[in-house]
Amino acid sequence: MRSISQNYQNFCLRKGTWRADEDQMLRAYIKRYGIWNWNEMPKAAGLLRSGKSCRLRWMNYLRPGIKRGNLSKEEVQTIIKLHKMLGNRWSAIAEKLPGRTDNEIKNFWNTYLRNRFKNNISNTAVQAPKLQGTGPVNDINENQHMEGNVGSLESSGEPSFRDQPFSMEAQMCKVEDYGETYTDEMWVQELLSYPNASHNFECKQRNSSDIDVSLPTSPNILNSEEYSSNGTLPMSPIISTDNFSSSSSNPVKDFNENQHMVEIGSLESFGELPLWDHPFSMEAQLWVQELLYN
């Protein structure tokens, strides 16, 4: 139970964006006295801020060693990899990225990645993530070749992943993930193992046997050389059903002319799971591959 004086103090506290002088006061105080008690420090430092607010400001902005600016390609890859393993444990992910904060990673993920999956954008007008004040809006052109940059990916000097044309078969058949070759089957299993997917799966108390992720026959595998030299991405790529068994239990039952998976096993029942709410768009696939491709 909070005391009246505590409530009064909280009432008097400032909120919102930190001013430069507040930053300076907090920085100077911690430099001199160190961190000893977040709730008491603001008063001692002469700040009209809550301890929580001070802690957050320090941890996410003022702390020495904080990196500002775009995430590097390597950092993005690390985030994706760790998110696969850890889910939304942003602080755990941040530990592996020196200078990056959990808040920053969380924002990045929410903005650039989750929304990419969530949005099922028209398959001929794919918009790449836009970076505020740092780069151009990226559009995929009529030939479905992405142009521009994604975060700081363009700064690597390496040929853009987007410069490489992909057939839909190639996208579905192979994704390089840190040296691992992903088959279609692995791809589906990987997505099923997605932390949120399993969470929602548990919430719905579904039997795991409801989902059959096996692919009775393997689709043709194209290596990177093959699909990078295979001409341009077709305007309306359609994955050949010949690549899959016609088994009714096939999770990748169909691939329609709109480049969408019509049904992925029982996944359509994951109502509240954004990833599964929408079928994979061309954009989502390209985006993931761009980030994972070496």
Partner DNA sequence: AACGCATCCAACCGCCCCACA
Partner DNA sequence: ATGTGGGGCGGTTGGATGCGT
Residues engaged in binding DNA (CB under 7 A): 1, 14-18, 35-40, 49-53, 55-57, 59-61, 88-92, 102-104, 106-108, 110-112, 115, 127, 129-133, 136-137
Residue 139: what are its φ and ψ, rounded to 5°?
A: -120, 150
Least Å distance, CB 61 to DNA, is: 5
Least Å distance, CB 110 to DNA, is: 6
Are 51 and 45 in contact by the 8 Å Cβ rule? The answer is no
- Considering beta carbons, is residue 87 or 234 the nearer one to DNA? 87
- Considering beta carbons, is residue 110 or 217 the nearer one to DNA? 110
What DSSP letter does each residue of 72-95 carry, written as one string?
A: PHHHHHHHHHHHHHHSS-HHHHHH
Least Å distance, CB 285 to DNA, is: 19
The phi-psi region of residue 34 (left if phi > 0; otherwise alpha if psi is between -120 and 50; otherwise beta) is left
- Considering beta carbons, is residue 125 or 238 the nearer one to DNA? 125
**What is the identity of the amino acid at 291?**
L
- Considering beta carbons, is residue 66 or 221 the nearer one to DNA? 66
Least Å distance, CB 37 to DNA, is: 5
Least Å distance, CB 143 to DNA, is: 20
Residue 207: what are its φ and ψ, rounded to 5°?
A: -80, 130
Are 138 and 130 in contact by the 8 Å Cβ rule? The answer is yes
- Considering beta carbons, is residue 29 or 108 the nearer one to DNA? 108
Look up residue 124 and give its DSSP letter.
Answer: T
Look up residue 139 and give its DSSP letter.
Answer: E
